[in-house]
Structure 1
């Protein structure tokens, strides 16, 4: 299990530091498929044509991205400080602690639940 976590960590750092190859070879074709579903369906089911390829760019050190990251870090630290000062833990957190067994599946379930929640909030 330790090896898989190390591999996952190295892959995350690698994708974050050197995204060019991943963006070019994986993300661009997948984005093309999502943005041109009819061309994808035609390519797969009918004539075997090519799916239109998109050119995606990735920028490091863009001011808006850096400011967003800074705001998120500051808000996270403020939230952590507020939580540490609480005398009584909120009920939802107590419920989650009871639910958590320490399994990797718990972390996956929490991550998926968070993604679904954020998606629903952003769509509404």
Structure 2
């Protein structure tokens, strides 16, 4: 199989192929694993919108970059559920601050005040608006 076909099949560039060949040529799988300790998992990067997010692949599909917090949080949940990653690792891969991920709003204590403010803002209380 030609190099170009192999690269197209796996969605990598020729440059990446030759970089990997120079780095890993002649290594066994266990030696390559030791060389990659601390690197991100490719599946995790893909799920998190990692290094090649937004790049057009050989098949023509486009992966979108995560831009909203909701998307980042969904990616954290997906990494934890599908790939079995820990919360700190999933947050690190997606760039989510762990304290923001763990935050739970304190609702319920001021519901009466919020409802009253909505009434005033919507003009339900005629004397309060414009006085």
TM-score normalised by length of structure 2: 0.22
Structure with more of its chain in helix, by fraction: 1
Instruction: Tell me the TM-score normalized by structure 1.
Output: 0.23
